[in-house]
């Protein structure tokens, strides 16, 4: 993001003693890593990760037990056990960590550290999406019980000058041998370096202190950080949270959609309810071609792709009078015209009358998974077109949050490469 002015109004990133897997105690680094908790949505994905290695990080971020309290206690017990057995161990001294992801021509580099927490009103860390209270409560209970930040949030800022500050330290650091290097099954290679030199640390922290950041991925975990900060003495370790900071002027992120799965609503009923209010067309598959049709329609207005019965229904050109009646008028025009706004305010709330609760709606990142699940369950998948990054930034700068789960920025950091213990300070 743009500079904020005085250094005390910017990002404050500090070193911490990272918890990392001990290579001799695991099969491989790739076998113990995981995508972020909210990307592992299908049971088969969870079971695949659990079976990859008995120490896969998913056993901490998505523990399995009969009740939420049991799950959280199990995660804490597992973490304690892995520490006592030497599966995980803290690094010898506090550090910031340079992190790199690469797949083909896609390259991302940034800095992982413990970031001082701040409220949205402070204008230092800007959210762009609303959150679901039940998810925040669950993540807070897990973090409270384990006393650990188990996976970094993804935050972005914009500078672009590689001759000084964090960018210069990153360029110097990657010439050294990394602490770890692995390639995960999604084809991404990952490398991690520690930065402990006082001069390098000062150069990074002084640079970031002049910037504000956008939450690209991790709104629920950021809300969790803030809730737990309010429960604990400040200053102290709970006043900071684990983040990865990326300068998107140098390493642009990809923006993808998060799709909706509407439990118990067959596609034929969903389509019938929209008749007369939207234009509805059956479009040809396979899925990539149907998504191209969605992109073409989205270029000139609100558009959605409904799937679940073996076909694809393109829904676009909403009745303007319907939008005027159903979309709140007290927000900027850019917010009122968002597909997610129209979906929630007009389709879900007004036409389909579906509450935004887990028993009624699932949020799924993977497009094929959303379609497959809808077809298996006889429900409706609502496939979304991505929001442009400049729209996200502009709304965030205005202090306007988008509907929950409106965007998915990536690539996301792999979970399991470095953790932060609150017990270590």
Q: What pLDDT digit, counting tens, does each position of 72-120 carry?
A: 999 999 999 999 999 999 999 999 999 999 999 999 999 999 999 998 8
| Cβ neighbours, 10 Å, residue 118 | 20
Q: Residue 286, preceding bond cis, omega within 30 degrees?
A: yes
Q: What was the pLDDT predicted at 90?
A: 97
Q: What is the mean pLDDT of the chain?
A: 91
In angstroms, the Cα distances linking 72 to 76, 88, 270, 377, 418 are 6, 19, 38, 30, 20
**Top-confidence residue, 144 or 127:** 144
| Cross-strand partners of 408 | 256
Q: What was the pLDDT predicted at 7?
A: 42
For range 52-59, the mean pLDDT:
88
Q: What was the pLDDT predicted at 84?
A: 97
Q: Residue 235, preceding bond cis, omega within 30 degrees?
A: yes
CA 257 to the chain's CA centroid: 12
Per-residue DSSP letter, 348: I
| Cross-strand partners of 18 | 420
pLDDT tens-digit readout, 204-228: 999 999 999 999 889 899 999 999 9
Burial (0-12, 13-18, 19+ Cβ within 10 Å), 423:
exposed
Q: What was the pLDDT predicted at 357?
A: 87
φ, ψ dihedrals at 63, nearest 5°: -65, 150
Q: What was the pLDDT predicted at 403?
A: 81
Q: What was the pLDDT predicted at 387?
A: 87
Residue 53 predicted with pLDDT over 90: no
Percentage of residues of the chain with pLDDT beyond 70: 95
Residue 141 predicted with pLDDT over 60: yes
For range 41-69, the mean pLDDT:
79
Q: Which residue has the tokens 């129209």?
A: 342
pLDDT tens-digit readout, 279-317: 999 999 899 999 999 999 999 999 999 999 999 999 999
Contact 10, 4 (CB under 8 A): yes
How far is residue 363's CA from residue 366's CA, in Å, rounded to a whole number? 9
Picking from 306, 310, 316, the residue whose alpha carbon sits closest to that of residue 381 is: 306
Picking from 125, 306, 95, the residue whose alpha carbon sits closest to that of residue 297 is: 306
How far is residue 134's CA from residue 29's CA, in Å, rounded to a whole number? 32
CA dihedral 235, 241, 242, 248 (to 10 degrees): -110
Q: What was the pLDDT predicted at 211?
A: 93
How far is residue 379's CA from residue 365's CA, in Å, rounded to a whole number? 17
The secondary structure element, H or E, covering residue 282 is strand 279-283
pLDDT tens-digit readout, 235-272: 899 999 999 999 998 998 888 888 999 999 999 999 99
Residue 40 predicted with pLDDT over 70: no
For range 360-380, the mean pLDDT:
93
Indicate the pTM of the whole model: 0.81
Residue 407 predicted with pLDDT over 90: no
Q: What was the pLDDT predicted at 6?
A: 40
Where in 302-342 does DSSP place strands (E)? 303-307, 312-316
Among 180-184, 281-285, 403-407, the minimum mean pLDDT is found in 403-407
Half-sphere exposure of 113 (CA within 13 A, CB side): 24
How far is residue 233's CA from residue 347's CA, in Å, rounded to a whole number? 44
For range 55-81, the mean pLDDT:
94
How far is residue 413's CA from residue 406's CA, in Å, rounded to a whole number? 19
Confidence band (pLDDT; 50, 70, 90) for 67?
Answer: very high
Among 23-32, 160-169, 344-353, the minimum mean pLDDT is found in 160-169
Q: What was the pLDDT predicted at 5?
A: 40
Confidence band (pLDDT; 50, 70, 90) for 203?
Answer: very high
Half-sphere exposure of 401 (CA within 13 A, CB side): 14
How far is residue 288's CA from residue 255's CA, in Å, rounded to a whole number? 17
Q: What was the pLDDT predicted at 41?
A: 52
Per-residue DSSP letter, 391: H
Residue 3 predicted with pLDDT over 50: no
| Cβ neighbours, 10 Å, residue 24 | 7
Parallel, antiparallel or unpaired: strands 213-217 and 125-126:
parallel
């Amino acid at each position: 993001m743009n500079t904020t002015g005085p250094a005390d109004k910017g990002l404050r990133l500090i070193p911490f003693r990272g918890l990392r897997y001990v290579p001799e105690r695991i099969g491989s680094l790739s076998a113990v890593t995981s995508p972020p908790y909210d990307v592992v949505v299908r049971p088969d994905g969870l079971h695949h990760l659990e079976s990859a290695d008995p120490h896969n990080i998913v056993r901490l971020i998505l523990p399995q037990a009969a009740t939420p309290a049991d799950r959280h206690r199990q995660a804490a017990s597992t973490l304690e056990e892995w520490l006592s057995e030497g599966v995980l161990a803290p690094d010898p001294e506090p550090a910031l960590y340079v992190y790199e992801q690469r797949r083909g021509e896609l390259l991302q580099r940034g800095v992982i550290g413990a970031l001082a927490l701040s409220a949205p009103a402070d204008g230092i860390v800007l959210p762009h999406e609303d959150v679901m209270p039940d998810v925040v409560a669950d993540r807070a209970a897990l973090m409270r019980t384990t006393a650990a930040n188990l996976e970094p949030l993804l935050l972005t800022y914009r500078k672009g000058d590689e001759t000084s500050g964090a960018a210069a330290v990153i360029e110097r650091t990657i010439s050294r041998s990394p602490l770890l290097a692995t390639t995960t099954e999604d084809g991404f290679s990952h490398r991690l370096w520690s930065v402990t030199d006082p001069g390098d640390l000062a150069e990074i922290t002084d640079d970031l202190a002049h910037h504000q950041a956008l939450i690209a991925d991790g709104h629920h975990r950021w809300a969790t950080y803030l809730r737990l900060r309010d429960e604990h003495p400040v200053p102290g370790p709970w006043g900071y949270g684990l983040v990865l900071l990326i300068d998107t002027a140098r390493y642009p992120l990809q923006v993808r959609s998060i799709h909706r799965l509407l439990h118990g609503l067959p596609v034929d009923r969903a389509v019938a309810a929209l008749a007369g209010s939207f234009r509805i067309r059956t479009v040809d598959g396979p899925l990539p071609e149907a998504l191209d049709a969605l992109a073409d329609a989205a270029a000139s207005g609100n558009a959605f792709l409904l799937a679940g019965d073996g076909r694809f229904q393109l829904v676009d050109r909403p009745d303007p009078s319907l939008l005027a009646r159903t979309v709140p008028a007290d927000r900027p025009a850019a917010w009122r015209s968002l597909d997610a706004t129209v979906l929630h305010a007009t389709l879900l709330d007004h036409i389909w009358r579906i509450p935004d609760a887990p028993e009624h709606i699932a949020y799924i990142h993977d497009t094929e998974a959303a379609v497959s699940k809808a077809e298996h369950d006889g429900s409706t998948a609502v496939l979304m077109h991505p929001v442009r990054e400049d729209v996200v930034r502009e709304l965030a700068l205005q202090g306007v949050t988008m509907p929950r789960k409106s965007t998915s920025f990536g690539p996301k950091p792999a979970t399991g490469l470095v953790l932060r213990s609150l017990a270590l300070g």
